[in-house]
């Protein structure tokens, strides 16, 4: 069986001339192909996103990493680099569409953070203010604890070491009241979350990159793709 999945794209600026582009890492394409996933790429510049989404015929959505989330309503006077209003708007509308249609969603890194924002949570813009060691989540590996009993049974582990490539994040204190953590790192940094009633999961690490937790990644991917047993072709 193969799975058709809608995949969000990061927004970048051309280094050679003035042009905004959508992009995705080749790591993602190779990783998805290895899991029999056919990616349907979702542009950030569509004039009518809903019409596009209604015609996709996908069994779920993947929110990829890259770009910072723009200024939130409760934030003031923050200088946020590498943000894209068009991407924020596209992905928030995508999440709303998935909830309405009861489609599965997997958010990775930024994607997990945006799921938290969508459901009313907040962000920690600089985890160095929370963690004891500077850059403790940037281009490093660290141990996380599986804190949810059902996920612990599903993954068959209590702790695991994952990669980490983020300076912003979600903590237990900023987690949406509508979401539940299933994996937590040091100082209460949320590394995995899910919605208790909807097929929505978020992970802070990057399964598409080199990761010692690849067996966990496989289970997370299978869970995301088959949770609602939606017919895929």
Query: Which CATH number goes with the domain that contains 184?
Result: 3.40.50.880
Is residue 209 one of the residues assigned to a domain? yes
| Digitized pLDDT (tens) for each residue of the chain, 233 residues in all | 899 999 999 999 988 888 999 999 999 999 999 999 999 999 999 999 999 999 999 999 999 999 999 989 888 778 888 999 999 999 999 999 999 999 999 999 999 999 999 999 999 998 877 766 555 555 588 899 999 999 999 999 999 999 987 689 999 999 999 999 999 998 999 999 999 999 999 999 999 998 888 899 999 999 999 874 333 43
Is residue 30 one of the residues assigned to a domain? yes
Is residue 149 one of the residues assigned to a domain? yes
Is residue 134 one of the residues assigned to a domain? yes
Q: How many domains does the chain have?
A: 1
Is residue 233 one of the residues assigned to a domain? no
pLDDT (tens digit per residue) in 89-141: 999 999 999 999 999 999 999 999 999 999 999 999 988 777 665 555 555 88
Instruction: Tell me how far apart the alpha carbons of residues 20 and 29 are, in angstroms, rounded to a whole number.
Output: 21
Is residue 231 one of the residues assigned to a domain? no
Phi and psi, residue 3, nearest 5°: -125, 125
Using CA atoms, how far residue 20 sits from 9, 14, 30, 85, in Å, is: 12, 6, 24, 12
Is residue 129 one of the residues assigned to a domain? yes
Question: Domain range holding 154?
Answer: 3-226
Is residue 232 one of the residues assigned to a domain? no
Strands in 47-179 per DSSP E: 60-63, 104-108, 138-146, 159-165
């Amino acid at each position: 069986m193969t799975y058709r999945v809608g995949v969000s794209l990061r927004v970048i600026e051309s280094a050679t001339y003035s042009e905004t582009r959508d992009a995705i890492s080749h790591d993602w394409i190779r990783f998805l192909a290895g899991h029999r996933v056919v990616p349907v790429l979702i542009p950030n510049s569509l004039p009518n996103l809903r019409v596009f989404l209604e015609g996709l015929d996908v069994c779920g959505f993947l929110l990829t990493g890259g770009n910072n989330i723009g200024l939130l309503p409760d934030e003031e006077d923050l200088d946020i680099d590498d943000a894209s209003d068009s991407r924020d708007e596209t992905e928030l509308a995508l999440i709303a569409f998935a909830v309405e249609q009861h489609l599965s969603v997997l958010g990775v890194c930024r994607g997990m953070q945006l799921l938290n924002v969508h459901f009313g949570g907040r962000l920690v813009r600089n985890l160095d203010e929370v963690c004891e060691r500077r850059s403790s989540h940037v281009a490093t590996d660290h141990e996380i604890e599986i804190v949810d009993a059902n996920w612990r049974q599903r993954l068959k582990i209590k702790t695991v070491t994952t990669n980490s490539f983020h300076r912003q994040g979600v903590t237990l204190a900023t987690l949406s009241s509508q979401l539940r953590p299933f994996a937590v790192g040091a100082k209460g940094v949320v590394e995995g979350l899910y919605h208790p009633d909807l097929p929505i999961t978020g992970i802070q690490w990057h399964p598409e990159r080199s990761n010692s937790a690849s067996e966990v990644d496989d289970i997370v991917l299978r869970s995301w793709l088959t949770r609602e047993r939606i017919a895929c072709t």
